Amino acid sequence: MFVKLWYFIRLKAGEGFSHPFRHKNPGSGSDVKLDEKKIALSATFATLYAVAVIVFAVVSFSIIQMRIADCLIPLSAVFGWPAIFGVTIGCFVGNAYAPVGWADYFLGPLANFIAAFLIFKLRRRPLVGCILGAAVVGLIVGGYLWLFLPVPEFFGVEKLYPWLISVISIFVSGLITQGVLGYSLLKIFRRPNIAGVLKAHGLKNYAEEK
């Protein structure tokens, strides 16, 4: 009834029979397609991250780790919010596969979100962003892992400052996965030919912004 009434009012106003719940200025539908691409891109990042965590689970869940999936975090500098949300959701799913503790469900994804956001904001200085991203993951994830996992021996320091060993270990791991692997991957996606392919598929390259 309300829909028919809306049609009648729009008709009297000379606006035709456009659907009341459709985008006000649908045009060619580009806005809708753009939203669909962003959602699909986020889902792709989430899937890739979670799969990488699970496939390389043997090196993804420990104080001395090498989470290969973290190399996707620097790509936030190119893909923006879809990548940020993707690596955050992917971390939640991946951590649920073999949870270290309750903190892994919340603080792990939070660390990824902050790291990816920083890299996105510092996309004009990506290497600095990758290092800061590794530091964030090291501080947050390393800050709780020692509560759930045994800390390896390190000249007796682990007995006095187990959290410090945990933070340093995860930070070093992040420098490799984000600062080396991720940064290298980022440089590939910032190449003109790759940027051209992204643009041809209607994907915005945030790294090109001034």
Q: What is the pLDDT of residue 66?
A: 95
Does some domain include residue 8? no
156 phi-psi bin (left φ>0, alpha ψ -120 to 50, beta other): left
Domain that holds residue 65: 31-204
More confident site: 40 or 203: 40
| Residue 24 located in a structural domain | no
Please report, in angstroms and rounded to a whole number, the separation of the first and last CA atoms in the chain: 51
Any idea of the CA torsion for 39, 43, 45, 49, to the nearest 10 degrees?
160
pLDDT digits (tens, 9 = 90+) for 120-129: 999 999 999 9
Count of the separate structural domains present in the chain: 1
Position 184 in a domain: yes
Write out pLDDT tens, residues 83-116.
Answer: 999 999 999 999 999 888 889 999 999 999 999 9
Of the pLDDT bands very low, low, confident and very high (cuts 50, 70, 90), residue 206 is confident
Q: Which residue has the higher pLDDT, 107 or 207?
A: 107
Within a domain: 19: no
CATH of the domain at 158: 1.10.1760
Kindly state whether residue 3 falls inside one of the protein's structural domains. no
DSSP state of 99: -
Tell me, yes or no, whether 18 lies in a domain: no
Q: Indicate the pTM of the whole model.
A: 0.81
For residue 203, what is the DSSP state?
-
Q: Is residue 16 part of a domain?
A: no
Q: Tens digit of pLDDT for each residue in 46-72?
A: 999 999 999 999 999 999 999 999 999
Q: For a pLDDT cut of 90, what percent of the chain falls above it?
A: 63
Task: Between 60 and 20, name the one with better pLDDT.
Answer: 60
Q: Is residue 22 part of a domain?
A: no
Q: Can you give the pLDDT at residue 12?
A: 45
